[in-house]
Amino acid sequence: MVDRLSVEVAGLKLRNPTILAAGILGVSGDLLVKVWKSGAGAVTTKSLGLEPRVGYPNPTVIQLDYGLLNAVGLANPGIHEFAQEMEKVKSSNATLVVSVYGFSPREYREVAGAAEDYGADAVELNVSCPHVERLGSEVGQNPKLLREVVAEVKSTLKIPVFVKLTPNVSDIVEVARAAVDAGADALTAINTVKAMAIDIETMYPILGNRFGGLSGPAIKPIAVRCVYELFEEFSIPLIGCGGILDWRDAVEFMLAGASAVQVGSGIMVKDLGIFSSIVEGINLYLESKGFSRVDEIVGLSHRR
């Protein structure tokens, strides 16, 4: 089962194709280790910047019938303060992806470089957070700026660089091309969809920041479509993310073209057992269909 489910994404070897998505339980080393021991193929930290950031006022998260709506505002202790937490993760032999952000190409490079120095196995550039001004509203939607950010990070890093794309654009392929041309090693699709909710009694927006990012089952069809389109255009590995609740969702993403999948809000709907459940389900699916390895189904929907 281990051999059948192991995958490689841009040179990064994973014991199975499931990855903890950024922003979910990635706030401490202990929680990341707990996720790893629950069966994830890799874990991703909460997005980290160069300096500590308080984030937005409460309420920052709303649970909806069809997913989660959040506007946390990238609250984090900063990459250097988080180094001790990263040490805990590395001591458990977990595969660690560090999500990073910055407010300039140089700042992205500095944060990513620090993550590499502290032991990250890969970095994921958060250029797609839809509720942070000066960040996702510009970088992830601006091909020229995105190209500059990716090129700056790639100029010094030796570990793989993933770029997490926003769905809040008219053409995700156009934006992705800028990242690929600049040297991105893999693409993660997708981050949350810009959304909001209003309380009809108070008549005010519910989130402290008014606007937030929608995740969960509601965005899965959008994410699958994005992965499918990206697979048609690019040869670099894709990581599917958005609304994965069980192995069927994971298989759907892989058939669309994802080499691995990220699980985030699904943990809130279920529990940490979701990782082992997905892995077991994929394994049984492969057996039932006569496949010897999981990578044999990647992009298979394009060939039928």
pLDDT of residue 269: 84
Residue 52, CA distances (Å) to 14, 16, 101 in order = 30, 33, 12
Tokens 């709303």 identify what position?
A: 62
What gap in Å lies between CA 24 and CA 46, rounded to an integer? 7
Q: Is 226 a catalytic residue?
A: no
pLDDT of residue 38: 97
Number of CB atoms found within 10 A of residue 233's CB: 12
- List the structure tokens of 245: 């609740």
* Dihedral over Cα of 225, 226, 229, 235: its sign: negative
Residue 64, CA distances (Å) to 3, 26, 216, 267 in order = 38, 22, 9, 14
The catalytic position among 68, 129, 180, 254 is 129
pLDDT of residue 88: 97
The reported pTM is 0.95
Question: Which residue, 130, 103, 112, 135, is CA-closest to 45?
Answer: 112
Backbone φ and ψ for 90, nearest 5 degrees, come out as: -65, -30
β-pair partners for 63: 68
**Low-confidence stretches of the chain (pLDDT beneath 70):** 1-2, 129-138, 304
Q: Are 186 and 212 in contact (CB under 8 A)?
A: no
Give CA torsion, residues 240, 243, 249, 250, to 10 deg.
30
Tokens 């001790």 identify what position?
A: 84
- 159-184: pLDDT as tens digits: 999 999 999 999 999 999 999 999 99
Q: Are 100 and 74 in contact (CB under 8 A)?
A: no
pLDDT of residue 272: 96
pLDDT of residue 51: 95
Question: Which residue, 62, 133, 53, is CA-closest to 100?
Answer: 53
Does domain 2-303 correspond to CATH entry 3.40.50.720?
no
What gap in Å lies between CA 207 and CA 61, rounded to an integer? 7
pLDDT of residue 131: 47
What gap in Å lies between CA 245 and CA 286, rounded to an integer? 18
pLDDT of residue 26: 87
